[in-house]
Chain A
């Protein structure tokens, strides 16, 4: 028997000028979700059930931008995606292009458990959702005033950007008018100045008392993305991965996470190179991202927890069986 452990994240890349009350709000939600997960673990729920339950909480709460409060496509609609992986057997499920499903992570779970496939998307996923009777709402449920204004700012900032590593002229003025922002010219994150950007992904990794690991990640994607764009969150091996050794959930610049198959790389460094969990996490963040900005949370079969990020901040927290709990942003 091993001590259980749980870690959560609410996205990497945080505006250093984020108002204090917003930071406190985020911390409270992360703590609440950790408590929910810890209660499940104490009650003996398996890791895969716990990660689903916790990510549902994170999806439902509008503070973090998945589910309600999701990023908007350039058409002003919401397209959500999620994935879940049970390290016990390496079973997995993923969904993309959801527009009405209230809890994408639960649909991903159903794909894993009740379909012959691993990944369903767009109309096919929505149809499956109806067959399975999951809770659906109108797409407008997910759209908030805040995200609509963020989309507007993103469009202003991005209007001629193809390669978002190259700042377009005039971008520096995009942060003017953002309430509470103190940083005028921060670094870029997913093509937007950090003062305009808000992280869009939530995730949870767990190791239960049996030493089984599981991971789940959920997102609304990328502000102002092309309709039909799929990011790292539903891609097994990129945004999410779990095996006998560990579980990983990533957040940040989706394209960088995909190119580096970040979640699988952490596990491969443990499995094939024999690194410890924290060594593997540090190596992956430092060596695998090139110029990409991302973060991740991980747990190991031995009950260890590790974080890594090269962004300014990552909303995160963890709890372990011995009673330890912490929540951090910076």
Chain B
């Protein structure tokens, strides 16, 4: 890291001396019922714990935050439990169209992809767009062509499509409405054999001991979405953002996140209004319609916040001073777990 990166360090880093690395990740926000059965809950908690451990190990090994967020999101993409990569929700045509975005808070370089149907790790392709093209954002056929040029791992659609998602699409069509990834079953709607629709976008934010920040988000999007629909995830400033103040990854109803420029606003409130990370994130969440959004964010001086205005958000975080947390519903609701850092 060059000393040039410190000169732009946020003033809040000096004000609050709690430096140190921090990491937060999410597996999506939405209407996750408290009655979520154990067999649906346990694998997701295990995946969150596993990804958190990977991210923490990488930070302890001094990997740059950009590498950390990419590797954690790759792991989340590879898990079938979450709506990204394997386990992506389906378009109205029964296909997958995946999108992802990564941003380096130190340089504000970023990369984004949309409309991927064969790329196993969309987040890694987003990183290649950032590092190996003069562009920021590639989509659909052009992105798939770039993937082949770069020789990234690709797979047949059967790799990504899970029976649960085929069922979810069927339910959504029968309910005749577009759902965000989590919705309570509608009264009178045909009950699904799965009994839930609880999956969501994935994301990770990280900061190292020097205050360098990075953010990454990945998703299959919205169940039953129109072919070609792009959500908030690949839109810099909406679902993903990082600068010298903070790194943010958002999840929920894409259309709401786009119009509220959620991720950018958290950073803007810190910089222009002098709010703390927690205050800025809470402000943004409160101003977005209830039931629509959650986010994870870390600041340059190692703070973490994970607010949401949905019923729940699959999330996990850890900081260098030993705190860690894995959760689904608001803290204090039965079942939420807190682990002291080993």
Using Cβ atoms and an 8 Å threshold, which residues of chain B touch A8? none
Say yes or no: B228 contacts A123, CB within 8 Å.
yes
Give CA–CA (A61, B7) in the complex, Å: 47
Name the residue of chain A whose CB is nearest to the CB of B261: A237
Total residue contacts A-B, CB cutoff 8 A: 153
Interface residues of A in 92-127 (CB under 8 A from B): 92, 94, 96-97, 115-125, 127
Interface residues of B in 211-231 (CB under 8 A from A): 222, 225-231
At the interface, is chain B mostly helix, strand, loop or mixed? mixed
Say yes or no: B254 contacts A121, CB within 8 Å.
no
A258 at the interface (CB under 8 A from B): yes
Say yes or no: B142 contacts A227, CB within 8 Å.
yes
Beyond A229-B142, A230-B138, is A128–B258 a contact (Cβ under 8 Å)? no
Interface size on B, residues (CB 8 A): 46
Task: Render A146-183 as a binary contact track against B, CB cut-off 8 A, 1 for contact.
Answer: 00000000000000011110000000000000000000
Give CA–CA (A34, B271) in the complex, Å: 36
Using Cβ atoms and an 8 Å threshold, which residues of chain A touch B112? 230
B339 at the interface (CB under 8 A from A): no
Interface residues of A in 244-295 (CB under 8 A from B): 254-255, 258-261, 264-265, 268-269, 272-273, 290
Using Cβ atoms and an 8 Å threshold, which residues of chain B touch A122? 115, 139-141, 228
Give CA–CA (A255, B235) in the complex, Å: 12
Using Cβ atoms and an 8 Å threshold, which residues of chain B touch A268? 264-265, 268, 272
Using Cβ atoms and an 8 Å threshold, which residues of chain A touch B109? 259
How far is the CB of A296 from the nearest CB of chain B, in Å? 15
Give CA–CA (A227, B140) in the complex, Å: 9
Say yes or no: A123 contacts B227, CB within 8 Å.
yes
B124 at the interface (CB under 8 A from A): no
Give CA–CA (A225, B255) in the complex, Å: 28
Name the residue of chain B whose CB is nearest to the CB of A79: B142
Name the residue of chain A whose CB is nearest to the CB of B92: A124
Interface residues of B in 51-68 (CB under 8 A from A): none
Stretch from B81-89, B129-137, B196-204, B303-311 that touches the partner: B129-137
A317 at the interface (CB under 8 A from B): no
B273 at the interface (CB under 8 A from A): yes
Beyond A121-B139, A122-B139, is A162–B133 a contact (Cβ under 8 Å)? yes
B126 at the interface (CB under 8 A from A): no
Neighbour of B227 across the interface among A92, A116, A124, A255, CB < 8 A = A124
Give CA–CA (A8, B122) in the complex, Å: 37
Closest 3 CB pairs of A and B: A228-B142, A124-B228, A272-B272
- Known contacts A90-B259, A230-B138, then 16 further A-B pairs from the complex at CB < 8 Å, ordered by chain A residue: A94-B230, A97-B140, A117-B222, A118-B230, A118-B255, A118-B259, A164-B134, A228-B139, A228-B142, A228-B145, A230-B136, A236-B261, A237-B238, A258-B110, A258-B236, A272-B268
Interface pairs (10), CB distance under 8 Å: A92-B259, A97-B140, A121-B115, A121-B139, A191-B134, A229-B137, A230-B114, A235-B235, A259-B108, A272-B273
